[in-house]
Amino acid sequence: MGRSDEKGLMHSVLENDRESIGAAKLLSESLNYSIPLNADSILEELVSNYKLAKSLYGKIFIREITGFSEEYVENNRRIPEFRAELKKRIENRIRFLKKSGLIENDTPTEKGLELAAYINYIEEIDAAASRGLFGKKASMKKAKEGERTESHLYKRDRYRDIDIAGTVKLAIRRSHQSIESKDLKASERESRSAIRIVYALDSSGSMTGEKIEQCKKAGIALSHKAISDNDSVGLVIFGRDVKKSIPPTKDIHLLLREIMAIRPHGETDIASAIAEAARILSSQEKNSAKHLILITDAMPTRGETPEEDTKRAASAARSAGITISIVGIKLDRKAEEFAEKIVLMGKGRFYRAREIANLDRIVLEDYYRAIE
């Protein structure tokens, strides 16, 4: 991530400290599910209405806060002795988080957010790399280091630019028994302009839980890959309005921290998200490509005429030279049709995300297509 204000914290994580890793997962889930880290309320939910608690908290949170599997808690929660043990464990866990400076007033602190961001970053990059999601090489910005395109007869080019396949073909075409110096060909290098991309994430109430978790992972993967390729990534977090806006940057630490801090709630104002993305992209260099990828699981619902407002925002963004892609998470047919209209206006692409575990793959695919 580039820096840390807590050297001891980072050292414990790098040493694969199970307690710190477990704390990071607990903090992440508390944000994804909007759970106050209060021992009394958590215990009450687990004991009195486990079915509701299961939907509110999720498996990972229950495991990390209690130290027991979800099934074990469900099967034993009515036993008095187990309830006493459950209470003790939850209180000890919350006490550890407070003592470590990871939570305050039932919510993660800056230190807690950093820990959660760091662990999520490591896990997502490892997982994405193992699935081959970072396999595509982007061309560099300088022509001398760009992608190979056409080739020409070798003159005083660099040896690394010799086009071996083109050279052999030319020698064969000339019926030469061996390659001669006049057969040598060298590749041209084609440069591409830098791309400024904004990742706009719907954080409305319907995104609670696994949806927001996978969207965060996709944002982490995108930030890592784009910044590694010397591009810039901005962030727009929206619900009933724009909650957070960061212009395209190469500061991965800033992006990860803000992605990790997202809590879902409220309605869906897509028009404001597009307008804000257009605003921060319009301030970028004129010769850079500008692209918005927006993730949502719903139609726009905010405002008197949300659909018309969204169309106007998309049209204005396109007029400013910004392309728009949308990833729709389990949208109904009406919402898909509307999303397709928006990407048609924005000269981008629409992706149907049926399996949300593949969101990082979809987002990276859109990035790769945007830089082609």
CATH code of 361's domain: 3.40.50.410
User: How many domains in the chain?
Assistant: 3
Q: Where are the alpha helices (H) located in 16-175, listed in sequence order?
A: 18-32, 39-48, 50-66, 70-76, 80-99, 110-130, 164-173
Q: Mean pLDDT over residues 160-182, rounded?
A: 68
Interatomic CA distance for residues 294 and 350, integer angstroms: 10
pTM over 0.95: no
> Does 222 lie in the same domain as 158?
no
pLDDT at 189 over 70: no
> Does 200 lie in the same domain as 64?
no
Top mean pLDDT of 86-100, 151-165, 167-181, 296-310 is at 86-100
Domain that holds residue 320: 195-370
pLDDT at 259 over 90: yes
> Does 353 lie in the same domain as 332?
yes
CB atoms under 10 Å from CB of 215, counted, come to 29
- Point out the domain boundary residue: 167, 190, 213: 190
Q: Confidence class of residue 11 from pLDDT cuts 50, 70 and 90?
A: low
CB atoms under 10 Å from CB of 180, counted, come to 12
Q: Which amino acid is at 56?
A: L
Domain presence at residue 137: no
Interatomic CA distance for residues 328 and 331, integer angstroms: 6
Query: Which stretch of 199-203, 260-264, 347-351, 353-357 has the lowest confidence by average pLDDT?
Result: 353-357
> Does 199 lie in the same domain as 186?
no
Structure tokens at 138: 């982007």
Quote the pLDDT of residue 248.
Answer: 96
Quote the pLDDT of residue 175.
Answer: 73
> Does 219 lie in the same domain as 78?
no
Quote the pLDDT of residue 149.
Answer: 43
> Does 113 lie in the same domain as 13?
yes
pLDDT at 168 over 70: no
